Amino acid sequence: MQKKGAKNLTVKMLIAMIAAVLCGLGVIALRESLLGAGNEAAWNTVNNLLFADISAAGNERAIGLFYIIGQLFVKALQLVIVPMVFTSIVLAMLRISDSRKLGRISTKTIGMFFITTVVSIVLAAVVGTLAFKAGVFRNTALDMAGSTGSTGSNPLMIVLNAVPNNLVGALANNGGVLAIVVTALAVGLAVNALKEKVTALPKLCEEISEIINKVLGFVVDKFGPIAIFCLITRTCAAYGVAHLKPAIAYVLLTVALLLLVLFAGYALVVRITTGLSPVPFVRKIGKVALFGFSTSSSAATLPLNLKTTIEELGVHEEIASFVLPLGMTVNMDGTAIMQVIATIFIAGCAGYELSLPTLLLIGVLAIIASVGTPAAPGAGAVILFTILSGVGFDNELALMAYSLILAINRPIEMLVTALNVVGDSACAMAVAKSENALDQDRYRA
């Protein structure tokens, strides 16, 4: 029954995505037709009725039907991020009674995350440098209409913010997931060490986890496909042809590299680390990638990723419950790829030269920045500013190019999220296989 339900959900999501793309293309055609004919008022009426961000200034009277449906769905998922991450990690600590095994799993998980991120960054740096030397990124037309810059902070602040100074404040902040992970690890290790002296907290975490799973199952199964349709259709409406023409080289190159890693890279990881055929992995993880693509949020995709990784890919719960929440916070391969290519693109637009030391610094900052990127829509492009500041790409042309990235990066961020969540699952399989905690029969089913 679970397998049949998973297949039905995958089919529904795929249908919703195809329908959304077709509808989105129709919306783009309508938008360009109305604006090209000078009927801006007609497009504004359609936009205000269906697609407008009702929280933005000037949209006080807009209806934004598609925006409301999409945001209600995302907010429903975000509602359980903190309790899900906290309880899943605490329970994962409790399920691993052998402290030596816990140490092994932690080391292997961080090791896999580091390896995949470094490989992704090296690949992005090589491809981006070749494009830079070929002059692909030079003299790119920049359109600042409607674009605004952003400010960043020192990437090393992620280290400082990893340990919260207020427990209640940490548990009340969806944006500080790393602090929640650190807190949950500390609590889980302490409870594990105290064993029978602590009985109420483990029971409470188990009951909260059951409630979360029940609520999420209902939300995802019943409203997921509808929300995906609304989210993707609205994205097409918000980013019409005018915003897709500039920086076409950056968009095409980044999308091509992300697709290569998504469809071939992680399949290769599964093959090398588990010795299993990657075909079932690609087939079963598809709905997770679609969901991540639609919501553009690793955090919102975590519930479905956990369910799929455990029930369909055969990873034991104690492994998945530890690796996936941690991966959602620190394993951002897609974000790192985007940030490296975007930085090289900005260097080309702004007239900077790329040297080996500069590339190495970009790589190091991309690792730190990707770890510090919140698992939320659009965060990767904003955190990009920290890399630009770190390497000194801060002249007027660089800021113009950065503003352009903020304007056109939404579709890329959607693909980045799909890559991030699939990477978490691939790493979970690798760790599970090394610990003999992978149900191969369930994986092949």
Picking from 302, 362, 296, the residue whose alpha carbon sits closest to that of residue 334 is 296
Contacts for 193 with CB less than 8 Å, ≥ 6 apart: none
Q: Which range is most confident: 39-48, 205-214, 296-305? A: 39-48
Q: What is the mean pLDDT of residues 383-394?
A: 76
**Are the beta carbons of 328 and 363 closer than 8 angstroms?**
no
Higher pLDDT, 442 or 172: 442
Tally of domains within the chain: 1
Task: State how far the Cα of 319 lies from the Cα of 399, in Å rounded to an integer.
Answer: 43
Residue type at 144 in one-letter notation:
M
> Which residue range forms the structural domain that includes residue 322?
2-444
Determine what percent of the chain is predicted with pLDDT higher than 70: 83
- 315 — phi, psi (to 5°)? -75, 130
Q: What is the CATH number of the domain that holds 261?
A: 1.10.3860.10
Q: What is the DSSP letter of 278?
A: S
pLDDT above 80: residue 253:
yes
Q: Write out pLDDT tens, residues 32-88.
A: 888 888 888 998 898 899 888 888 888 888 898 998 988 888 788 777 767 877 887
Q: Write out pLDDT tens, residues 4-22.
A: 555 566 677 778 878 887 8
Q: What is the mean pLDDT of residues 203-222?
A: 81
Higher pLDDT, 48 or 367: 48
Q: CA distances (Å), 296 to each of 30, 288, 326, 358, 418, in order?
A: 25, 12, 18, 30, 8
pLDDT of residue 193: 82
**Per-residue burial over 180-199, b = 16 or more CB atoms within 10 Å of its CB, e = otherwise:** bbbbbbebbeebbeeeeeee
Residue-wise DSSP of 76-107 = HHHTTHHHHHHHHHHHHHHH---HHHHHHHHH
Q: What is the mean pLDDT of residues 139-164?
A: 55
Residue-wise DSSP of 313-351 = S-B-HHHHHHHHHHHHHH--HHHHHHHHHHHHHHHHHHT
Picking from 413, 346, 422, 421, the residue whose alpha carbon sits closest to that of residue 132 is 346
Length of the chain: 445
Is the model's pTM score more than 0.75? no
**Are the beta carbons of 400 and 145 closer than 8 angstroms?**
no
pLDDT above 60: residue 102:
yes
Q: Write out pLDDT tens, residues 413-435.
A: 888 889 999 999 999 999 999 99
In the block, which residue shows the tokens 């907010």? Answer: 75
Which of 71-80, 172-181, 324-333 is least confident? 172-181
Picking from 62, 58, 66, 73, the residue whose alpha carbon sits closest to that of residue 27 is 66
pLDDT above 90: residue 359:
no
pLDDT of residue 176: 66
Please report how many Cα atoms fall inside a 13 Å half-sphere around the Cα of residue 222, on the Cβ side.
7
Tell me whether residue 249 is exposed, middle or buried, using C-beta atoms within 10 angstroms of its C-beta: 0 to 12, 13 to 18, 19 or more. middle
Please report how many Cα atoms fall inside a 13 Å half-sphere around the Cα of residue 282, on the Cβ side.
15
pLDDT band at 275 (very low <50, low <70, confident <90, very high): very high
pLDDT above 60: residue 243:
no
